[in-house]
Amino acid sequence: MKSKNIPITLPGLALFLIALVILIRSLAARNAYEIVLSLAALTLFAVLWLTGIWTVRRLVALEPIWKIPLPLGAATAEDWLVTSPAVRVPWFFRLHFFVKGRFFPQGSASGCPVSGQTSLSRKSDTARLRLGFPMGGFFRGETSCRLRDIFGFFSFPCGNKRERTVNVRSAPCDAKALRIDAQSGAEDRRSKSSSDEERYYMREYAPGDRLRDINWKSSERIDTLITRISPDNQEKITRIEVYFRNYGLPSSQRKRRMKAGSVITPDIAELWLLDRAKARLAWFLRKVKEEKSSYVFHVRSAGKSWDLNDDEEINAFLEELAVLPFSPAHNEESSLPQAEGELYVFSTSCDAALPAFLLAQQGRPLSLFLTRNVPREKARSKKARREKTTLIKTERESLLLRDFFAGGSVPLPRWLLPRRWFPGHEQQLRVSSSRMMIDYAETRL
């Protein structure tokens, strides 16, 4: 039980009522021992209350400093730090810091509750809070501070509350062998403004330059010999086309709910597939950029596109990618511009339109990065048994639902149902590509 005016906890209220009842009974029975005991308890109660009220008035403008590790990644062991300005609190009191809100995996509409707290010792001005997320998404909540006594009788709100919204990037995926065929062609890097275009194609004269390459008109204007530079000598870049298909397919049960007008939210297994697809895309961008810094990316997803030229733009894109949710299943092969060069496609087994898209891209070099659940098919034939044996040995990434509890969050009850761990449409998607990298993901309790 907490109130801003009467911040008494349940143990504090119980102490007050018990001490009051004992005092009344002891006065009627004239029991000196019980009178002293009950008066001592009520005196302690009153002293803690008055001391807390007096201290809170001094802490009305308290502004704790929260240091959140950014960029914040999933499944990391980094602590949140909270630092309080130099303030003195009375004996038997401690400052407690709280984080409460909701975590939205992969930017989904349904969020799970998150809570965490830590206390500040008298010998330190910094406290650590362990708050973790098992997958990518974003957290929205508030941070607050309360003054509590060590007996747990009172909890006084103090300081200012602050709202927080933090993106959580997906945990890194396993590294794999990657071969890049950058066949998109070289393009001129025209980063100069039109006013500087003349200077961009020219430079100062150097011994050995041909006289016919001197721009006499420009040289006369600036009183310096200027030599023309052929456009073929400009720096070349290679553009890599990436298509991130964040499309989702409702299962048969959710199709019925959609017809009934209910809100459709992905299952936890589908969210985990999207998380691993994002992790593979982030790995791809980093890996390719490390191999050759001149590569630039044109990344396209459902309804949006990005041009990524350097590491700073890639970092900004990964922040947006963390909260990119599923988009309704849609076939966009007709709207995708046909271009020369290889196309790198990232998708999941939730993408029902993927086979049609791959069919429409026949004849174009294409690499497919597919994330799918581990199939539950029973091996009946020798071929199926061999495939199943191979699959058992295949590396897979697992999402443990109990990791939600360990990090301070509570998964939604419907996520704990075993049928939610295996999407019903898994057996409906059959795709093939000349170059395909498959990541297997599973959800377990």
Q: What is the 3-state secondary structure (H, E, C) of 101-113?
A: EEEEECCCCCCEE
The reported pLDDT for the residue numbered 415 is 81
Average pLDDT, the chain: 79
Q: Which two tokens stand for residue 39?
A: 């008066």
Q: Could you tell me the strand order of the sheet in which 155-169 lies?
A: 72-73, 155-169, 137-149, 93-105, 112-120
* Tokens (6 digits) for 278: 């994002």
Q: Which residues contact 272 (CB under 8 A, 6 or more apart)?
A: 135, 399, 441, 442, 443
Instruction: Say which residue the tokens 């909260």 belong to.
Output: 323
In the prediction, which pLDDT does 304 show? 87
Phi, then psi, of 362 in degrees rounded to 5: -60, 140
Beta-carbon contacts of 119 under 8 Å, excluding residues fewer than 6 positions away, are: 94, 95, 96, 97, 127, 148
**In this predicted structure, what is the pLDDT of residue 24?**
92
DSSP one-letter code for 8: B
Q: Say whether pLDDT at 60 is over 90.
A: no
Per-residue pLDDT at 47 exceeds 90: yes
Per-residue pLDDT reduced to its tens digit, 366-384? 889 999 887 665 444 444 4
Token readout for 15 is: 């102490």
pLDDT digits (tens, 9 = 90+) for 107-135: 888 889 999 999 988 888 888 998 889 99
State what percent of residues in the chain have pLDDT above 90. 32
pLDDT band of 137, cuts 50, 70, 90:
very high
| Residues 313, 314, 320, 324, Cα dihedral to 10° | 140
241 secondary structure, DSSP code: E
Cα gap 264→74, rounded to integer Å: 25
pLDDT tens-digit map of 12-33 = 999 999 999 999 999 988 888 9
| For residues 188-206, average pLDDT | 52
Distances in Å between the Cα of 306 and the Cα atoms of 142, 191, 292, 370, 389 are: 31, 17, 19, 21, 41
300-354 per-position pLDDT tens digit: 998 889 999 889 999 999 999 999 998 887 655 545 555 567 889 999 988 888 8
Q: Which residues are CB-contacts of 26 (< 8 A; sequence separation ≥ 6)?
A: 32, 33, 34, 35, 37, 38
Q: Which residue has the higher pLDDT, 68 or 391?
A: 68
CB contact at 8 A, 415 and 267:
yes
Report the pLDDT value the prediction gives residue 346, as an integer from 0 to 100. Answer: 94
In Å, what is the CA distance from 406 to each residue of 101, 114, 134, 141, 143?
A: 16, 11, 9, 18, 20
For residue 375, what are the contacts with CB-CB under 8 A and spacing of at least 6?
Answer: 391, 426, 427
- Tell me: pLDDT of 34 over 50: yes
pTM of the model: 0.77
